[in-house]
């Protein structure tokens, strides 16, 4: 029977890196956030709904989803952000379900930023949180996205607090050190994860 494992983490935590490491270990990974970017461009019905919610400016002159415009539009509007998520999530969920059907492996991983916020963990058999100290996350995002400390802190302040997510997660991977340490920590959690299902079935 297939087991769905959610992977999440706040901005700058390194969740995508952990997902890539898990994939290197031979497990299939569904990258929800990246695939959502494709779905908003390729799903005609979804496009119409997003335009109705945010206006035609949500897509640029070439018809591509304008992420910068949308981010600015919903950043201080929680209600509008929730409405946008309620449009995109079902489309991604449908795509994920198709992906699961095509997989032959037992353990399938789903990487998504809003695992707990959208209660997606309730449809998972286990969940993994990737986390790091705030100052480290801020530095990473500043270097990656050329943002100021204040801009990154504002994003973090709008995300679910790390301690709340840690309390909900089955496993937590701390990413305060280098890549080698992160790889080892991920490998250890994978072993613990598999063992947890073995214990469940024994």
Q: Write down the pLDDT at residue 200.
A: 83
| Residue 112 assigned as binding residue | no
Band of residue 202 on the pLDDT scale cut at 50, 70, 90? low
Q: What share of the chain is helix, strand, coil (3-state, %, to 5)?
A: 60, 15, 25
Q: Write down the pLDDT at residue 11.
A: 93
| Residue 14 assigned as binding residue | yes
pLDDT tens-digit profile of 9-26?
A: 999 999 999 999 999 999
pLDDT tens-digit profile of 117-134?
A: 989 999 999 999 999 999
Inter-axis angle of helices 78-102 and 67-74, to 10 degrees?
Answer: 130
| Residue 17 assigned as binding residue | yes
| Residue 16 assigned as binding residue | yes
Q: Check if CATH label 2.40.160.20 holds for domain 1-28+108-202.
A: no
Mean pLDDT for the stretch of residues 131-154? 94
Kindly report the pTM of this predicted structure. 0.90
- Residue 107 phi, psi (nearest 5): -100, 120
The 3-state secondary structure of 14-58, one letter per residue: CHHHHHHHHHHCCCCEEEHHHHHHHHHHHCHHHHHHHHHHHCHHH
| Residue 63 assigned as binding residue | no
The answer for residues whose C-beta is within 8 angstroms of residue 1's C-beta and 6 or more apart is 106
pLDDT tens-digit profile of 50-60?
A: 999 999 999 99
Band of residue 194 on the pLDDT scale cut at 50, 70, 90? very high
pLDDT > 80? residue 97: yes
Same fold: 1-28+108-202 with 33-102? yes
Average pLDDT, the chain: 94
Domain spans of the chain, in order of start: 1-28+108-202, 33-102
pLDDT tens-digit profile of 59-89?
A: 999 999 999 899 889 988 889 999 999 999 9
Other CB atoms within 10 Å distance of the CB of residue 168? 14
The answer for residues whose C-beta is within 8 angstroms of residue 20's C-beta and 6 or more apart is 29
What percentage of the chain exceeds 90 in pLDDT?
86
Q: State which CATH number among 3.40.50.970, 3.40.50.150, 3.40.50.2300, 3.40.50.300 fits the domain covering 33-102.
A: 3.40.50.300
pLDDT tens-digit profile of 159-185?
A: 899 999 999 999 999 999 999 999 999
């Amino acid at each position: 029977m297939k087991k769905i494992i959610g992977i999440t983490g706040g901005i700058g935590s390194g969740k995508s890196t952990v997902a890539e490491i898990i994939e290197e270990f031979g497990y299939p990974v569904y990258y929800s956030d990246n695939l959502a970017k494709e779905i908003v461009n390729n799903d005609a019905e979804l496009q119409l709904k997003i335009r109705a919610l945010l206006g035609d400016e949500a897509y640029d002159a070439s018809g591509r989803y304008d992420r910068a415009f949308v981010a600015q539009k919903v950043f201080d509007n929680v209600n509008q952000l929730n409405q946008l998520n309620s449009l995109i999530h079902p489309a991604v969920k449908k795509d994920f379900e198709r992906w699961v059907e095509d997989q032959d492996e037992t353990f399938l991983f789903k990487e998504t930023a809003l695992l707990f916020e959208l209660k997606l963990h309730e449809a998972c058999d286990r969940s993994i949180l990737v986390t790091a100290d705030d100052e480290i996350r801020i530095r990473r995002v500043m270097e990656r996205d050329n943002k100021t400390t204040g801009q990154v802190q504002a994003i973090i302040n709008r995300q679910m607090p790390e301690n709340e997510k840690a309390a909900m997660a089955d496993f937590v991977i701390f990413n305060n050190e280098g890549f080698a340490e992160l790889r080892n920590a991920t490998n250890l959690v994978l072993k613990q994860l598999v063992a947890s299902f073995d214990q469940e079935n024994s």
